[in-house]
Amino acid sequence: MGVSKITKVSVILPRSHVPNAMEQLSKFDYFHAAQPDSSTYDELLADYSKRSFKFYVRISDIIKELELNLNPGVMDVLKSGYKDSSQTIDLERWPDLMNKLEENASSIVDTFENKLKELHSLEDEISTNEANLEAIKLLSNYSIDLDKITKYNLFSVNLSICNTKDVPEIERSFNNAIFTSSSLSSEKSLILVAVQKSDSDNIDKVLRLYESETFSIPEDLPQNPTEANNLIQKSLKEQLNNIQSLKSEINSLCKQNESDIFSYFELSKTLYDSCELIKRTGELKYFAVINGFIPTNLKSSFDNLFTSWIVIYEDVDKYDHHDSNHKDAPILMNNLPITKSFKSVTLNQGSPRYGEFDPTSLIALSFPIFYGMMFGDVGHGLVLLLFGLFLLYRKAPFLKSWGQMFSISGIVAIFFGVLIGEAFGIELHKVIPIASIAHLDFIEHPIIHFIHRSEGHLASIEISALRTFLKISVLMGIVHLTAGNLLSIYNTIKNREYDELAIETIPVFVMFVGFVFLMFSFIGTEFKIDQLFTSQREAPLFFITERFLPGLTTYLTIPIATLSLYSTAALLAGLFVMVIGKPILIITGRAPKESIAMSMLVHLIDGGIEKIAGSLSNILSYTRLAVLLTVHSSLLIVVNLALDLPLFAAIPMFILLNLIVILLEGMIVYIQNLRLHLYEWFSKFYSGSGSEFKVFPGSPNNSTNSHVKLRWKHAN
């Protein structure tokens, strides 16, 4: 769980063995290539890279032109399910990858390229013929004799077909010319230009630059416009039939070969990426060096695969920043299957730094709780759960984590729905068909009665319940932020940054704790600041236990004045250490020299404003948990007004409006939840500045390939 320990490996092998090493790398589960920058490449890999890249580009062009979907869309998967269309390619040795590509893919790629070329040329012919046809029709209407217009003595007249959008520019290109145009289609126009005989050369020059074609009835056609018209129409009909049959031929070829196209596309990319990653094998003439990282626990299996060559291992200490490999070490996040689905939340900020705590497992706990609280409703929770399960049922790899996230969040939303006794904004006991369950005490009388209903009045939010939820939200915020601060201390200790621990991390935590308790005191005085250090009333530390488990903490009482005193002392002590800490380190030579006065000022501002005010705003930010629950319930109160309509309208309206609320709220709640984690929580302890472990392209664990799987004949 967390971040895997990493070992740097360097494999030294004769250059002629490079293909064998590539094969072993493709068989190994986790290898992250890390070749140093160099302009010297292994010849074979550079050649393979070039050849495979050519295929990659050619196949990409075909995919683009045929508008094929390499990855199925979410809606398609939801509608018809996910089909695993991956092809297994059997390989004996690594060079077979290139051979398979060149032998098998070539014919398919050539076929498609030729067919598409044929299609384009046919489309061009059709476009020309259509324009010619329209031009002939137009000329027939105006009774223009093509022979006559070229035989004037004083004028030179040209009749051309050009692109419609070019007409204004062509017109402006002629000075002192008679110019007229007529649209043949949205794309093509017929233009007539007449100039003095002395300027006749100019017409050709200008029209050539606009790629216009002088119109004439083709020589192979009768020069009589009517006959030419008939013949062009006939040939156009044939061409349209041809293009239709060519399109259907391409379509059926597409259906037959779609999975081949995709698998060769991925194969070419895999081969190209593999070569690009490894081709900088060093400057030695006869030996190649392959560098990379593997998880330390896989050292023995790596050893088995690379036993024929010299392998140097260097374990990278997670917490030793002086280790030269530490900053380059990639991060392999190693989470349990259930928590893995929340990895995407962590990765929004970036991979953890090597040696940094991976918060995914904690997010797997807090994320659904926050989501469920803001989305609290049994009915909506159930819809979310079922939708999550449906995504899992569809078995699309890219929807799996979403399915798990929705399912878990749905369960928590049901829990909060039970807590407030609501389902689709209706009292829970009224929608449960089984009487024995509906009459359970906590169902009939919800633990927190959130919505107040009375006959003849619009339902409303119960203010006392809202207060309770606001308190719960703040408490959750305090717990969450405390965990964040403690993780910061944990990271600092683990990374042996003891100076930072003493002058910043611990003081910040002490200030946070002091601030939180001072806030409790302030609330206890009912926001009267003058009573903060005099009031002997009991500080409201345990409002939750008092509300739900009365009597549990009666022996743990403390007067407000005492609590205020201690918490203020903690706050000031933390600030004091922060302000003087850095100067002490500068004086003792443990920190680089800088102005002591400036350092104190900076820390005073940082500690006094940023940290203290930041604590307040961070904690208050969590009130959105209660606020969004209120918004959700309020929207459902409005939605339920639809039930007063006649039944035929009420049911569809009720369903539709509920769906809108689920979609709208579901998204807002997700965004707010992300904000709480990324901004309020991560800022306390998480840098996310690590680089992700990228599995070798041909590896069995490479999840980017969904259309091709490599099967090696020899295990070793």
Partner 1 sequence: MRSILDDVTYSATKAYSYRGGILDSQTITSLTESSDLDELVTKLKATAYADSVSRIDDQYTARKIEKACYEHVSDIHSNLMKTSPGGELISKYYLKHIARNLKVILKSKALGKSDTELEDYVDLYTEELVGRRDLLVKVMTADTLEEAVDSLSGTEFSKDINTALKIYKENPQMNIFDVYIDRAYHTQLVETYSKLNSNLPFSESIAVKLRPIISHYIDSYNVVSVLRAKQWNFDLEQIKEILIQPTFDIKYKKLLDMSLTDDVETAMKMLENTPYKKFLPTSFDNLADSISLLDSNIKKYEYDKFNKVFVWNAFTELVTLALIRVKEFEASNIATIAFGIANNIEKKTIQENLTS
| Alpha-helical segments (H) within 4-105 | 18-27, 43-66, 74-80, 96-100
Q: Does 54 bind partner 1 (CB under 8 A)?
A: yes
For 494, half-sphere exposure in the C-beta direction (CA atoms, 13 angstrom radius) is 15
- Tell the smallest beta-carbon distance from residue 64 to partner 1 (Å): 9
Q: What are phi and psi of 553, to 5 degrees?
A: -120, 25
- Among positions 201-260, residues that touch partner 1 (CB under 8 A) are 202, 205-206, 209-210
Output helix, strand, coil percentages for the chain, rounded to the nearest 5.
60, 10, 25
CB of 581 to partner 1, least distance (A): 32
The DSSP H or E segment spanning 364 is helix 360-374
Does residue number 176 form part of the binding site for partner 1 (CB under 8 A)?
Answer: no
Among 141, 153, 175, 300, binds partner 1 (CB under 8 A): 175
The answer to the question of residue 52 lying near partner 1 (CB under 8 A) is no
Contacting partner 1 within 660-699 (CB under 8 A): none
Residue range at the interface with partner 1 (CB under 8 A); choices 102-110, 165-173, 311-319, 680-688 = 165-173
Tell me the closest approach of the beta carbon of residue 39 to partner 1, in angstroms: 7
Shortest CB 128 distance to partner 1, Å: 18
> CA–CA separation, 642 vs 547, rounded Å?
36
* Residue of the chain from 40, 43, 50, 660 that contacts partner 1 (CB under 8 A): 50
Query: In angstroms, rounded to a whole number, what is the distance separating the alpha carbons of residues 514 and 222?
Result: 100
Q: Which range, of 53-61, 120-128, 458-466, 593-601, touches partner 1 by CB under 8 A?
A: 53-61
DSSP state at residue 692 = B
Q: How many residues bind partner 1 (CB under 8 A)?
A: 20
Query: Residue 183 CB, nearest distance to partner 1 (Å)?
Result: 17
Out of 53, 82, 415, 576, name the contact with partner 1 by CB under 8 A: 53
Strands 87-91 and 333-334: unpaired
Residue closer to partner 1 (CB basis): 52 or 366: 52
In the bound state with partner 1, the residue whose beta carbon lies nearer, of 202 and 553, is 202
Question: Shortest Cβ distance from residue 54 to partner 1 (Å)?
Answer: 5
What is the closest distance, in whole angstroms, from the C-beta atom of residue 208 to partner 1 in the complex?
8
- Rounded to a whole number of angstroms, the minimum distance from the CB of residue 202 to partner 1 is 6
| Inter-residue contact 424 to 380 (CB < 8 Å) | yes
Whether 677 contacts 405, CB under 8 Å: no
Can you tell me which of 73, 75, 143, 172 binds partner 1, judged by CB under 8 A? 172
CB 212 → partner 1: shortest distance, Å?
A: 12
CB closer to partner 1, 101 vs 503: 101
Is residue 707 a contact partner of residue 258, using CB atoms and an 8 Å limit? no
How open is the CA angle 372-375-376, to the nearest 5 degrees? Answer: 75
- Closer CB to partner 1, 172 or 255, in the complex: 172
* Burial status of residue 370 (CB atoms within 10 A of its CB: 0-12, 13-18, 19 or more): buried
Nearer to partner 1, 56 or 654 (CB): 56
Sequence-separated (6 or more) residues with CB below 8 Å from residue 364: 335, 338, 339, 341, 342, 408
CA distance linking residue 178 with residue 157, whole number of Å: 9
Candidates 46-54, 224-232, 389-397, 660-668: pick the segment binding partner 1 (CB under 8 A). 46-54
Q: Give whichever of 204 and 258 is closer to partner 1, judged by the CB atom.
A: 204
| Residue with Cβ nearer partner 1 (68 or 431) | 68
> For residue 315, what are the CA distances in angstroms to 325, 348, 354, 586?
9, 29, 13, 34
Measured distance CA(370)–CA(112) in Å, rounded? 53
Beta bridge partners of 451: 461
E strand segments, 538-651: none
Instruction: Please give the Cα distance from 423 to 421 (Å, whole number).
Output: 7
Per CB under 8 A, contacts with partner 1 among 177-206 are 202, 205-206
Beta-bridged to residue 277, according to DSSP, are none
What three-state secondary structure class fits 126?
helix
For partner 1, give the closer residue by CB, 173 or 335.
173
Taking CB under 8 A as the rule, which mask of x and - marks residues 55-74 in contact with partner 1? Answer: -xx--xx-------------
Contacts with partner 1 by CB under 8 A lie at 39, 50, 53-54, 56-57, 60-61, 166, 168-170, 172-173, 175, 202, 205-206, 209-210
